[in-house]
C-alpha cells in the first residue's frame, strides 16, 4: 500500500505532527506562503498574504485539521484529507512536481512543504479571521480524551448507529477515523455492526476505556517513532496494528484470520472470534455474488 493513499490522518497522527512543528514554527515569523496549486486555497477573505510577516503564536488540533494561530488572531487551517502530508525542508525548498502543493517559509529556519499524492486535489488551506471562525471548521465531535464517561455514553447513544459508523462520525467523536476505529473495536472485543442503542452500560464503559487506551497508546508509539522529527511515514498500515489492514492475517490475540467488510473505498477489519462470537459479517458486494455459498462461521474458513 502507498502510505499516502490509505486514509485521513487521525488524532494520534495530528497530535504528533503538531508536537513536531511546535519547536520549529512557534515564535517564528512566516516570511512567505508559496502556493503551487490553485485548488488548495478554500477561502477568499482574508487573503493568504495577510499571514506573511506574522509570528506563529500557537498550534491547535481542530478535529482532523491543524490550526496555526498567527499574531493578530489570524488562523491558517490545514486539512490534509486522505493524501496530504507535511514535510520539514531546507529554507526555500523548491516546489517543482505535481505533489508539491504549497510551502510555508520561515526565513532561514526552514520551509514546511505540503504534498498530496495522486491526481485528486482534496487537501485544503483555510485562512480564518479569528480563532472562533477557525474552530467552527470542526464538525463538533466529542473530544474523547477530555470527556467524562457519562459524556461519552450520552454522545454514543444519541443516535442509533453501528459502532463503526458512530466512532468515525466527526459530528459525534473528534479525530477518529477508519484505522483507529478498527483498533478500538478490536481492543474492546466488540462487533463493528453492534447498534449503539442496544449496548449495555458495562459495554459502553468498556468501549470508552478502549477508545482512550487506543488513542493514547498509538499517540505514544507515533511520538516515539518520530523522535521529534516531522513524521514522514503517516500511514494506517502498520505492522504492529492488530486488525486494520490485516485481512487474512492471524489475529494477535487468538490467531483467527482477520476478516473485512468492504464498502465504497473503505473497509472494516475485525477478528470474528474476538469480536463477533465466531460469526462472519457479510460483505454485501461479495455476498450478493456468493449467495448461499457465503460462509457464516469462522469454522468454514479455517
Confidence of residue 149 (pLDDT cuts 50, 70, 90): very high
Residues 166 and 126 in one domain: no
Q: What is the mean pLDDT of the chain?
A: 90
257 beta partners: 250
Is 222 part of any domain?
yes
Residues 154 and 295 in one domain: yes
Confidence of residue 37 (pLDDT cuts 50, 70, 90): confident
Distance CA 172, CA 177 (A): 12
* Domain closes at, from 135, 164, 191: 135
pLDDT attached to residue 298 = 44
Residues 16 and 118 in one domain: yes
Residues 129 and 151 in one domain: no
Residues 130 and 174 in one domain: no
* Grid coordinates belonging to 95: 516546489
pLDDT attached to residue 54 = 98
pLDDT in tens, 226-268: 999 999 888 777 889 999 999 999 999 999 999 998 876 678 9
Residues 161 and 121 in one domain: no
Residues 119 and 152 in one domain: no
Express as a percent the part of the chain with pLDDT over 90. Answer: 79
Is 4 part of any domain?
no
Confidence of residue 290 (pLDDT cuts 50, 70, 90): very low
* Lowest-confidence segment of 121-125, 131-135, 295-299 by average pLDDT: 295-299
* Domain closes at, from 102, 135, 168: 135
Is 182 part of any domain?
yes
Residues 190 and 284 in one domain: yes
Is 5 part of any domain?
no
pLDDT attached to residue 295 = 46
Is 1 part of any domain?
no
pLDDT attached to residue 180 = 95
Mean pLDDT of 162-188: 95
Residues 128 and 50 in one domain: yes
Please report how many Cα atoms fall inside a 13 Å half-sphere around the Cα of residue 74, on the Cβ side: 17
User: Domain range spanning residue 242?
Assistant: 144-300
Residues 159 and 109 in one domain: no
Number of domains in the chain: 2
Model confidence at 296: pLDDT above 70: no
Of 150-154, 191-195, 259-263, where does the model show the most confidence?
Answer: 150-154
Which residue, chain included where needed, has cell 502556493?
Answer: 35
Is 115 part of any domain?
yes
Q: pTM for this one? A: 0.89
- For position 253, which CATH number holds? 1.10.8.50
Residues 148 and 131 in one domain: no
Mean pLDDT of 56-84: 96
pLDDT attached to residue 284 = 61
pLDDT attached to residue 120 = 79
Is 232 part of any domain?
yes
Is 3 part of any domain?
no
* Domain closes at, from 96, 117, 135: 135
Question: Higher confidence at residue 98 or residue 216?
Answer: 216
pLDDT attached to residue 234 = 80
pLDDT attached to residue 224 = 95
Model confidence at 38: pLDDT above 80: yes
Residues 101 and 182 in one domain: no
Confidence of residue 97 (pLDDT cuts 50, 70, 90): confident
- Please check whether residue 51 is in contact with residue 31, taking contact to mean a CB–CB distance below 8 angstroms: no
Amino acid at each position: 500500500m502507498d502510505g499516502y493513499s490509505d486514509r485521513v490522518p487521525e488524532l494520534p497522527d495530528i497530535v504528533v505532527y503538531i508536537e513536531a512543528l511546535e519547536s520549529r514554527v512557534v515564535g517564528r515569523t512566516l516570511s512567505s506562503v508559496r502556493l503551487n496549486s490553485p485548488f488548495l486555497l478554500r477561502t477568499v477573505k482574508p487573503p493568504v498574504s495577510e499571514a506573511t510577516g506574522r509570528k506563529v503564536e500557537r498550534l491547535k488540533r481542530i478535529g482532523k485539521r491543524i490550526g496555526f494561530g498567527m499574531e493578530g488572531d489570524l488562523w491558517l487551517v490545514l486539512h490534509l484529507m486522505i493524501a496530504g502530508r507535511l514535510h520539514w525542508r531546507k529554507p526555500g525548498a523548491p516546489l517543482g512536481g505535481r505533489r508539491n502543493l504549497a510551502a510555508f517559509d520561515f526565513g532561514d529556519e526552514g520551509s514546511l512543504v505540503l504534498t498530496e499524492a495522486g491526481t485528486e486535489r482534496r487537501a485544503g488551506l483555510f485562512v480564518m479571521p479569528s480563532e472562533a471562525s477557525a474552530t467552527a471548521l470542526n464538525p463538533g465531535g466529542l473530544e474523547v480524551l477530555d470527556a467524562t464517561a457519562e459524556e461519552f455514553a450520552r454522545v454514543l447513544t444519541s443516535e442509533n448507529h453501528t459502532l463503526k459508523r458512530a466512532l468515525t462520525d466527526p459530528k459525534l467523536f473528534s479525530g477518529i477515523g477508519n484505522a483507529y476505529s478498527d483498533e478500538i473495536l478490536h481492543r474492546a472485543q466488540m462487533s463493528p455492526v453492534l447498534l449503539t442503542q442496544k449496548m449495555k452500560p458495562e459495554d459502553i464503559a468498556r468501549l470508552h476505556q478502549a477508545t482512550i487506551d487506543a488513542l493514547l497508546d498509538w499517540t505514544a508509539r507515533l511520538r516515539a517513532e518520530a523522535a521529534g522529527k516531522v513524521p514522514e511515514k503517516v500511514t494506517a498500515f502498520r505492522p504492529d496494528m492488530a486488525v486494520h489492514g490485516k485481512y487474512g492475517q492471524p489475529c494477535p490475540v487468538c490467531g483467527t484470520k482477520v476478516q473485512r467488510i468492504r464498502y465504497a473505498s473503505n473497509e472494516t477489519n475485525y477478528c470474528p472470534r474476538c469480536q463477533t462470537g465466531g460469526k462472519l459479517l457479510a460483505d454485501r458486494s461479495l455476498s450478493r455474488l456468493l449467495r448461499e455459498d457465503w460462509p457464516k462461521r469462522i469454522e468454514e474458513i479455517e
